[in-house]
Amino acid sequence: MLGVPELLVILAIVLLLFGARRITKVAGEFGASIREFKNAARDDDPASKQSKS
């Protein structure tokens, strides 16, 4: 298992490779895609369809 020092080193390397702006852009897009997936999964849930009828 990774400890805090190892995670900090990995974070520093990622920041050096990609830059802070690109990391925040990717994180925002990832959050939006997770949100969209949750909404789609909620709409396709058979239990929610049975309770509506």
CB 29 within 8 A of CB 23: no
HSE-CB at 21 with a 13 A cutoff on CA atoms is 0
Given this model, what pLDDT does residue 2 score?
85
pTM of the model: 0.54
CA angle 22-27-28, nearest 5°? 100
Using one digit for the tens of pLDDT, what is the confidence trace for 1-53?
Answer: 889 999 999 999 999 998 988 988 999 999 999 999 999 988 876 665 565 55
Q: Quick one: which of 26, 29, 47, 49 has its CA closest to 37?
A: 29
